[in-house]
Structure 1
């Protein structure tokens, strides 16, 4: 499987999360603690928005292991962003190529995924045929993750993100059952339009991959008043991760099974995720 993170809040350099924490994303690419595979070396990617506000995000993706990419290290050292997604990949069978590396981008939207569509080779044709014909030309890779993204776009991601992802999941499960695949979907997903970020944790078998969100920064300021790194972050700052980046007591909360979260200005949201057949 894969590991990922989604950051929103005070602008920071990418290296603050990709490299500096004890269990940084780069560290997880070599020896993940909570993943199905220990090593995630089948490519990587980062997508980030500019400091001066939403707009089309920039992508940097590579096919080699994240731990040995000198360009990623240089970029992370010099790039600041208030909102970015980062991903390290462990392929579930599709080729290791740049177009298969996350995040995926369409206009000002980004999408990344950990998990798989079981027996994707059997379900792929039916799923791809459900993608809006106007969106189909923008699909560049061969992964189940990208197909999920374009199905969500087809079902209204830009207007009603939660409902669109629920319809995508419902279609995958319906097509899976048609082909005799009883538990076809395993996913943790993050997607953003540059303003809000939506995160999802769901699997057909009810035993989803790990996912955590950071405790409110205001609470962490009280718990760790001497922590210089935390003092630099605003109360709006939030982080969602496949696995915690550090052993800081009280800093991480597990995302409940079959749920979604919305990171936004003001109060965040947490709700029940329920697939719906389109």
Structure 2
């Protein structure tokens, strides 16, 4: 189990408060989720700047140093409690491929038993980029495979295409792992971004969003098509107050490049997901 954080704003902003000083900041949460950390930030350049550590965030001065220096329109952060894969840098989130950054809170059930079946769904060209030993990184590359089946992943992708690929990843993995022999379902809270589009899913873990002052007292998510100034996604509410709204189980939420909010259910996106034809290597330009 881990904890994830995503921030998308219309203007570059500091995130030190959320990561370090809030009542329930990631630094505080890292006292339990102690097996490393990572931060990815998108500013003027299209590619993110990514930093990782394997020490607990609360005792690693690099975590506070990086957090203090981040001011960006898109930030993804993660603290890890290792369930699959050793505590080492190559297994630390966020995972990155070109413009894309991905984090996972959860565990794929019986991954050691099912990893070959999951890897078989990943395009061989993309599969060659896997560096670590986690279930999370393989879910990321399966997501990229689904995305590349419809869109060149080195170019801007519509938010619905990102959401659909994320939901299909969840559907394909759960079809392999969630059997009558394993009563516990695979937990797949995913968050992915290319710096402009940001999409998150909830499955078998908590997930909350904060949408800014205009929505602080509603207690519900806005309707699809609502323009936002800011979106924060977090495994846990970072502080008290009514502006933290829970995301429902099997929901996918996100914003497009213009910060327009979108909301889907996993079944309506995934349908009967089947592995696509293997896309050619030109579809995977970084």
Q: TM-score range by the shorter chain?
A: 0.7 to 0.9
In 1, the alpha carbon distance for the partners of 2:84 and 2:254 equals 31
In 2, the alpha carbon distance for the partners of 1:153 and 1:215 equals 27
Among residues 20, 28, 49, which one is paired with 1:58 in the alignment? 49
Matched residue, 1:239: 232
Q: How does 1:252-267 map to 2 (within 5 A)?
A: 252-264=244-256, 265-267=258-260
In 2, the alpha carbon distance for the partners of 1:65 and 1:113 equals 17
SS of residue matched to 2:206: coil
Among residues 79, 85, 92, which one is paired with 1:94 in the alignment? 85
User: Is 1:210 the counterpart of 2:202 in the alignment?
Assistant: no
- The alpha carbon displacement at 1:219 in A equals 3.8
- The alpha carbon displacement at 1:91 in A equals 0.6
Matched residue, 1:21: 22
In 1, the alpha carbon distance for the partners of 2:212 and 2:235 equals 18
Q: How does 1:134-145 map to 2 (within 5 A)?
A: 134-145=125-136
Matched residue, 1:47: 40
Equivalent pair of 1:6/1:86 in contact (CA under 8 Å): yes
> What TM-score, normalized by structure 2, do the two folds share?
0.82
- The alpha carbon displacement at 1:78 in A equals 2.1
List 4+ stretches of structure 1 deviating above 4 A: 177-184
> What is the total number of aligned residue pairs between the two structures?
251
Deviation track 1:182-236 (CA, whole Å, cap 9, x = no partner) reads 654211111001101001012xxxxx2111011443244x99xxxxxxxxxx951
In 2, the alpha carbon distance for the partners of 1:88 and 1:99 equals 14
Q: How does 1:126-141 map to 2 (within 5 A)?
A: 126-141=117-132
User: Is 1:3 the counterpart of 2:3 in the alignment?
Assistant: yes
**How large is the RMSD of aligned CA atoms in angstroms?**
2.2
SS of residue matched to 1:26: helix
SS of residue matched to 1:116: coil
Deviation track 1:117-139 (CA, whole Å, cap 9, x = no partner) reads 11000000111122111111211
- The alpha carbon displacement at 1:145 in A equals 0.5
Matched residue, 1:231: none
Equivalent pair of 1:262/1:268 in contact (CA under 8 Å): yes
Matched residue, 2:96: 105
Equivalent pair of 2:228/2:259 in contact (CA under 8 Å): no
> What TM-score, normalized by structure 1, do the two folds share?
0.84
